Amino acid sequence: MDIIWELFIILHANFIICISAQPNVPKIHEGWWAYKEVVQGSFVPVPSFWGLVNSAWNLCSVGKRQSPVNIETSHMIFDPFLTPIRLNTGGRKNICRREGGNADGPCQVGGTMYNTGRHVSLRMDKEHLVNISGGPMTYSHRLEEIRLHFGSEDGQGSEHLLNGQAFSGEVQLIHYNHELYTNYTEAAKSPNGLVIVSIFMKIAETSNAFLNRMLNRDTITRITYKNDAYLLTGLNIEEIYPETSSFITYDGSMTIPPCFETATWILMNKPVYITRMQMHSLRLLSQNQPSQIFLSMSDNVRPVQPLNNRCIRTNINFSMQGKDCPNNRAQKLQYRANISGQLLHKM
């Protein structure tokens, strides 16, 4: 008995020594994941490994309602019960519009822009709350963070695809259900926890006014390295939205570990624009700290996941788009209640 116990102690001690003597032994913690292989250094799990390295993240591998997805527009279903999305900034819209981006009007918001090593992330301050409702939402959801994904080349960099095509980037406005949960962390792991509004980014001559505030040279160069932060104030959140009330919605997940399947996605039906120069500045952001080698943050995207049996709904009424639209058949997929019985039947 004593011998076995001694042996155990020796083995145990050995184990501890091994770990402390090897700096490259992977440490499982919530930040231990990456989008791409690192050129040098130790192994860091890329998307196909996220669900395998940490049991708390197994949804990343086995989940059946994962995001992002490829949206095949021919498979969308027109849902006449989707109401427009309502943005509540606590201010009067006309005042917001008149004062523009400079004045400290009631609809102005602020936040801190971070280089997280993976994304450009604007975390909203808690003084000026923005929440959204309507659309597929049953609850009001509060804006927590705006996150940017982008590519190393034009035509790649968005997480969602539209008919197999990527855009040069994707803006994700991450909201949590503030009616049911006290904070983002609580909501992210709970039913009906998150609503993420996604807006594709395209390159053009002029840029979206909101993104212009984040991506102008003076601002973006302040967050070149990981953990850099910069305070932004006087932002008008309405400006990030493209001029459309059309959207596409489906139920999915967070696109980063732990991949919880608590997110309702709303993809706006029009992109926003940034300039070639601004895209270039994004690609010059490093995933690393200044003391480490430069590694561009671009291509910070998770590959698309299987749609499985999920339904993609839209408030776009296809039948108004003329006979050519192949989506007319989507109308046939709608269900109608069987008045004489309790069962639903296909039209």
C-beta of 132 vs 304, nearer to ligand NAG: 132
Residue 153, interface with ligand NAG (CB under 6 A)?
no
- Residue 331 in the binding site for ligand NAG (CB under 6 A): no
Task: Provide the minimum distance between the beta carbon of 177 and ligand NAG in the complex, in angstroms, as a whole number.
Answer: 10
Confirm if 53 and 259 have CB atoms less than 8 A apart. no
CA 320/CA 35 separation, integer angstroms = 41
Among 14, 42, 138, 185, binds ligand NAG (CB under 6 A): 185
Nearer to ligand NAG, 89 or 158 (CB): 89
SS3 annotation, the chain: CHHHHHHHHHHHHHHHHHHHHCCCCCCCCCCCCCCCCCCCCCCCCCHHHHHHHCHHHCHHHHCCCCCCCEECHHHCEECCCCCCEEEECCCCHHHHHHHCCCCCCCCEEEEEEEECCCCEEEEECCCCCCEEEECCCCCCEEEEEEEEEECCCCCCCCCCEECCECCCEEEEEEEEECCCCCCHHHHHCCCCCEEEEEEEEEECCCCCHHHHHHHCHHHHHHHCCCCCEEEEEEEEHHHHCCCCCCEEEEEECCCCCCCCCCEEEEEECCCEEECHHHHHHHHCCECCCCCCCCCECCCCCCCCCCCCCCCCEECCCHHHHCCCCHHHHHHHHCEEECCCCCCEEEC
Give least dist CB 208 to ligand NAG, A.
22
Which pair of structure tokens corresponds to residue 232? 């932004």
**Candidate list 131, 198, 208, 281; residue touching ligand NAG; CB under 6 A:** 131
Among 38, 46, 103, 129, binds ligand NAG (CB under 6 A): 129
In the complex, residue closest to ligand NAG by CB: 341
Residue range at the interface with ligand NAG (CB under 6 A); choices 145-153, 183-191, 261-269, 282-290: 183-191
Closest to ligand NAG by CB, 227 or 319: 319
343 binds ligand NAG per the rule CB under 6 A: yes
In terms of CB distance, is 42 or 83 closer to ligand NAG?
A: 83
Q: Which of 35, 176, 181, 241 is catalytic?
A: 181
The answer to whether 89 contacts ligand NAG (rule: CB under 6 A) is yes
Nearer to ligand NAG, 130 or 274 (CB): 130
The single residue among 94, 206, 291, 340 that binds ligand NAG, judged by CB under 6 A, is 340
Tokens of 257: 């570990």
Contact flag: residue 108 with ligand NAG (CB under 6 A)? no
> Quick one: which segment of 39-47, 83-91, 247-255, 285-293 binds ligand NAG (CB under 6 A)?
83-91
Can 181 be counted among the known catalytic residues?
yes
Asked whether position 88 contacts ligand NAG by CB under 6 A, the answer is yes
Q: By CB under 6 A, name the one of 317, 321, 334, 335 that touches ligand NAG.
A: 317
What residues make contact with ligand NAG under the rule CB under 6 A? 80, 88-90, 129, 131, 140, 182-183, 185-186, 317, 319-320, 338, 340-341, 343, 345
